[in-house]
Chain A
Amino acid sequence: MMRISLFLGCLVPNRYPGIEKATGICLETLGIDWKELEGASCCPAPGVFRSFDEPTWLALASRNITLSEKDERDVLTICNGCYGSLADANLKLKNNPALKEQTNSHLSQIGHHFDGTIDVRHIIEFLYSEIGVQKIKEKIVRPLDLKVAVHYGCHMLKPSSSRATASVERPSVFDELVEALGCTSVDYPDKMECCGAGGGVRSALGETALAITEHKLGKIEEAGVDCIVEACPFCHMQFDAGQVSLAGKGREFGIPVIHYSQLLALSLGYSAEDVGINLNEMDCSDFCNLLGNKKD
């Protein structure tokens, strides 16, 4: 289904709105039939809310899904957490009649009903399979000569039992999409590792999360890249705000963090300021200048 509704979640609109802006630019330029999913809430975040109470998690996730069912559009997510939550909930409800009935009894209180008629997509998987690397290449007006550390994050690919995407240990879809824009995806040790934020660890046990982040940043630093590219605002925040916290402890990395939507919008001719790269928590002015110089 090429008709999609864009699910914003919490972190994109409320912390990193540049990703929201960039995603709109990309979907528009690629000629996709899209609109925002009006009235959506938190997905809700799987690490915390699914941990507390599965029926609540399913009820809130299914409300978001039914908003899109009414429009007969697939849901497009731009966050691994939103994708994990909504795709898992959608699958569970489609496959388990008892859970579906329980969830629909909650939904009936607000006049909604889960039918199970649509799919939940992740922007990387969606662009790769619906648009394709070749078509994206043809749209590029400004090839980006950047060395990039691609960070897949966890829930785009895992658990593999409920994902359509390729290999868990050595995937290439994201790298191919990055290289389509002229960048070089630099290999580095522990590339498939977690950023540290998920599962509610960042929110409650920040130091544990930060230790994992520091390890991963160290590997990326050794690889010598211009930036990190991810496809999840939670990873984005963990690497971006995390570097600010680490700098406060005397450990400076200075590696700019950008979401794939922002990278794609840059290659479509937009500036770093157009898509809010300058609005990251850490100072990205050198990187923005570098991009400015590379404009043509």
Chain B
Amino acid sequence: MTLAPSIEEVIEDFNVLKCMQCGVCSGSCPSGRQASLNVRRLVRKIGRDHEAICDESLWMCTTCYNCQERCPRGIAIVDAILAVRSIAAHEGLILERHRHVANLLQEHGHAVPIDDTRKEKRIQLGLNSLPSTVHSHADDLEDVKCLLASCGFGEITGRKE
């Protein structure tokens, strides 16, 4: 299993300390306008302390990149948020629903696998009941599982391998 970056690396790599708290990011943020993410505050928090990894609002970012495109200081805000999320995940801070999706990937090679209703829909359209993805290729699914094990993904997401 590889290590997550350190918070110091995140601050350094993505220019977090250049933030002048202008609020352009928050003004551009759909998750701020329609819900309660305050990305300006989140950037400040990331620049200040490791506690940012516990901030629930980390997971409210849709990664729409509006803020990153518009930040006058050129801060890679989304890249920083993703990196801090990975620190959080490596410390076991993963939302239950996300853990579930991770388990689906590990079992099926798809985060959203097929089900019976959709098999029916496929047949109705004249398609094969299973798509030509890993769903039809057991050897490819084995390769995916092998890669996930090689990366230690199960240990990170708390699934026994």
A binds B: yes
Distance of A215 Cα from B29 Cα, bound (Å): 13
The answer to whether A14 and B146 touch across the interface, beta carbons within 8 angstroms, is: no
Q: A11-B112, A21-B125, A53-B89 are in contact. Are A212 and B97 (CB under 8 A)?
A: no
How far, in whole Å, are A55 and B147 apart by their CA atoms in the complex?
Answer: 10
> Are A203 and B97 also in contact (CB < 8 A) when A168-B69, A194-B30 are?
yes
* Contact A109 B133, beta carbon cutoff 8 Å: no
Set A8, A14, A102: member contacting B132, Cβ < 8 A: A8
A52 contacts B31, CB within 8 Å? no
Q: Are B112 and A109 in contact (CB under 8 A)?
A: no
In the complex, chain A residues whose CB is within 8 Å of the CB of B153: 52-53, 56
Give the Cβ gap from A265 to chain B, nearest Cβ, in Å.
12
Q: CB-CB contacts of A8-46 with B at 8 A, as 1s and 0s?
A: 101101110110110000000000000011111110111
Q: Are B109 and A42 in contact (CB under 8 A)?
A: yes
* Contact partners of B35 in chain A: CB under 8 A: 207-208, 211-212
Contacts of A36 in B (CB 8 A): 132
Contact in complex: B33, A204 (CB < 8 Å): no
Interface residues of A in 52-68 (CB under 8 A from B): 52-56, 59-60, 63
Residues of B within 8 A of A63 (CB): 143-144, 147
The count of chain A contact residues (Cβ–Cβ below 8 Å) is 66
Min Cβ gap A261→B in Å is 13
Contact between chains at A201 and B90 (CB < 8 Å) = no
Cβ contact within 8 Å between A41 and B150: no
The residue from B31, B86, B101, B112 contacting A14, defined by CB atoms under 8 A apart? B112
Asked whether, in the complex, the Cβ of A212 is within 8 Å of the Cβ of B31, the reply is yes
Chain A 133-174 interface mask (CB, 8 Å, partner B; 1/0) = 000000000000000000000110011100000001000000
Q: Are A197 and B144 in contact (CB under 8 A)?
A: no
* A21 with B62: CB separation less than 8 A: no
Contact, CB under 8 Å: B85 / A41? no
* Contacts of A92-112 to chain B: CB distance below 8 A: 102, 106-107, 109-110, 112
Contact (Cβ within 8 A) A47 B63:
yes
- Tell me which of A20, A160, A193 contacts B30 (CB under 8 A): A193
Are A17 and B127 in contact (CB-based, < 8 A)? yes
For window 131-149 of B, CB contacts with A under 8 Å fall at: 131-137, 139-141, 143-144, 146-148
Encode A238-260 as 1/0 by CB contact (under 8 A) with B.
Answer: 00000000000000000000000
Chain B residues within 8 Å of A48, by CB: 98, 101-102, 111
Asked if B54 CB lies within 8 Å of chain A CBs, one says no
Please tell me if B110 contacts chain A, counting CB pairs below 8 Å: yes
Q: Which residues of A contact B (CB under 8 A)?
A: 8, 10-11, 13-15, 17-18, 20-21, 36-42, 44-56, 59-60, 63, 102, 106-107, 109-110, 112, 154-155, 158-160, 168, 193-194, 196-201, 203-205, 207-209, 211-212, 214-215, 274, 276, 279
